[in-house]
Amino acid sequence: MNKNIKNMLAELKHEFHEIYEVPYNGLYVIISDSYDKTYEDENDNFDEREIDEVDIVYQGDEITIYPNLFGKCEIHAGSLKYESIDVLTKAVAIVCRNLKNIW
């Protein structure tokens, strides 16, 4: 049921294998639905078609992606460290490439 999310997370783990989910300074992706449920690998009750936002966090910097049903998304970011921008933008590209397959 969550084939695209699983593909997205596998691609992120492959691309960022040295920093993905490393405590404190690593790259984290938090996927939430419109019911405030968060995607967990072992959670079969999550429906990827209900994704409301995807938070990408790296070294304390965060970019949030809000997909919509019109084949577009909104991307929100505050002030980012220059050192984080390369990693975050690559992660955004991977996330968006997989999100577009859901709708």
Instruction: List pLDDT tens digits, range 28-75.
Output: 999 999 888 888 766 667 888 889 999 999 999 999 999 987 888 999
pLDDT at 101 over 90: no
Mean pLDDT of 79-92: 95
Closest to 1 in 3D by CA, of 32, 67, 46, 66:
46
What pLDDT shows up at residue 13? 95
In this prediction, residue 25 has a pLDDT band, given cuts at 50, 70 and 90, of confident
What stretches of 1-103 adopt beta strand conformation (E)?
27-33, 51-58, 61-67, 73-77
Give the number of other Cβ atoms within 10 Å of residue 3's Cβ: 11
Mean pLDDT of 83-100: 95
Tell me the pLDDT of the chain averaged across its residues.
90
